[in-house]
C-alpha cells in the first residue's frame, strides 16, 4: 500500500492549488521515507472535483459520498488532476495540473443508492470512478479522459521529456 497523506481539503486553497498540494505532498512523503536512497524519478498525482466553488475530495463515508453524488447529478463539474514529478538528478519537483469537465445525467435516488451499494465510490474524488460503473452516468466530457481517471498521460509524458527523462538511452 502506498504511503498515505492527509487529504482533507484545505478551504483556503482553490481546486487547482488543492490538487497540486496533494500531488506534491505525495512526492515529498516518498522522498522523506526513502531519505538517502532516492531514485531518479518519483511521480505523485491527485484529483479533486469542483462544483459551485466547492471542492470534493475523497468522501469520508457513505453519507458524504451520497451528498457529493446528489450535488453532481444532472450537471457539469470540473475535474482537476495534478501530477508532480521529482527529478532526482536535478533535485527538483515539477508540478502541473489539468482541468477537464464532466457532465452527469440526472440521477434518481435509486440510481445513487445502487451506485453507493457497489462500494466503488470509496477512495475516489467526487465519490465516483469514471472508468468504472459510474461511467454509465457520464453524458459528456471536455478535456482529458486519462486526467479524469487520475493520471494525465500526455502532460506526464511532456513533463518527463522536459525534465530529461532518458527515452531510448
- 51-101 pLDDT, tens digit each: 988 999 899 999 999 999 999 999 999 999 999 999 988 899 999 999 999
Structural domain count, the chain: 1
Instruction: Point out the residues that are catalytic.
Output: 46
**Whether the Cβ atoms of residue 159 and residue 97 lie closer than 8 Å to each other:** no
CATH number at residue 149: 3.90.950.10
Instruction: Kindly tell me if the per-residue pLDDT of 12 is higher than 70.
Output: yes
Sequence-distant (6+) residues with CB within 8 A of 35 are: none
pLDDT average, residue stretch 3-31? 85
| Structural domain span for residue 111 | 15-162
Highest mean pLDDT among 53-62, 107-116, 159-168: 107-116
Mean pLDDT of the chain: 92
Instruction: Kindly tell me if the per-residue pLDDT of 17 is higher than 90.
Output: yes
138 in a domain, yes or no?
yes
1 in a domain, yes or no?
no
Sequence-distant (6+) residues with CB within 8 A of 136 are: none
**Whether the Cβ atoms of residue 5 and residue 26 lie closer than 8 Å to each other:** yes
Compute the half-sphere exposure of residue 143: CA atoms within 13 Å on the CB side of its CA: 21
169 in a domain, yes or no?
no
Instruction: Kindly tell me if the per-residue pLDDT of 41 is higher than 80.
Output: yes
Residue 131's pLDDT band (boundaries 50, 70, 90)?
very high
Give CA–CA dist 86/152, Å, rounded. 16
Q: Which three cell numbers stand for residue 89?
A: 538528478
pTM of the entire structure?
A: 0.89
Q: Which residue has the higher pLDDT, 123 or 2?
A: 123
- Look up cell 447529478; give the residue: 73
68 in a domain, yes or no?
yes
Angle, vertex CA 116, rays to CA 79 and CA 142, nearest 5: 20
57 in a domain, yes or no?
yes
122 in a domain, yes or no?
yes
3 in a domain, yes or no?
no
Give the pLDDT score at 137: 97
Instruction: Kindly tell me if the per-residue pLDDT of 15 is higher than 70.
Output: yes
pLDDT average, residue stretch 141-148? 97
168 in a domain, yes or no?
no
Amino acid at each position: 500500500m502506498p504511503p498515505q497523506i492527509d487529504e482533507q481539503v484545505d478551504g483556503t486553497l482553490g481546486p487547482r492549488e488543492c490538487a497540486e498540494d496533494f500531488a506534491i505532498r505525495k512526492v515529498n512523503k516518498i522522498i522523506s521515507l526513502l531519505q538517502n536512497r532516492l531514485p531518479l524519478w518519483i511521480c505523485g498525482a491527485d484529483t479533486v472535483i469542483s462544483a459551485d466553488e466547492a471542492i470534493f475530495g475523497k468522501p469520508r463515508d457513505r453519507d458524504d459520498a451520497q451528498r457529493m453524488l446528489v450535488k453532481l447529478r444532472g450537471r457539469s463539474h470540473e475535474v482537476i488532476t495534478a501530477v508532480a514529478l521529482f527529478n532526482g538528478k536535478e533535485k527538483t519537483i515539477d508540478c502541473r495540473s489539468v482541468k477537464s469537465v464532466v457532465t452527469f445525467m440526472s440521477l434518481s435516488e435509486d440510481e445513487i443508492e445502487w451506485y453507493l451499494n457497489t462500494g466503488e465510490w470509496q477512495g475516489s474524488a467526487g465519490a465516483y470512478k469514471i472508468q468504472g460503473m459510474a461511467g454509465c452516468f457520464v453524458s459528456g466530457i471536455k478535456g482529458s479522459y486519462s486526467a479524469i481517471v487520475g493520471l494525465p498521460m500526455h502532460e506526464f509524458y511532456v513533463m518527463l521529456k522536459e525534465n530529461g527523462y532518458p527515452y531510448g538511452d
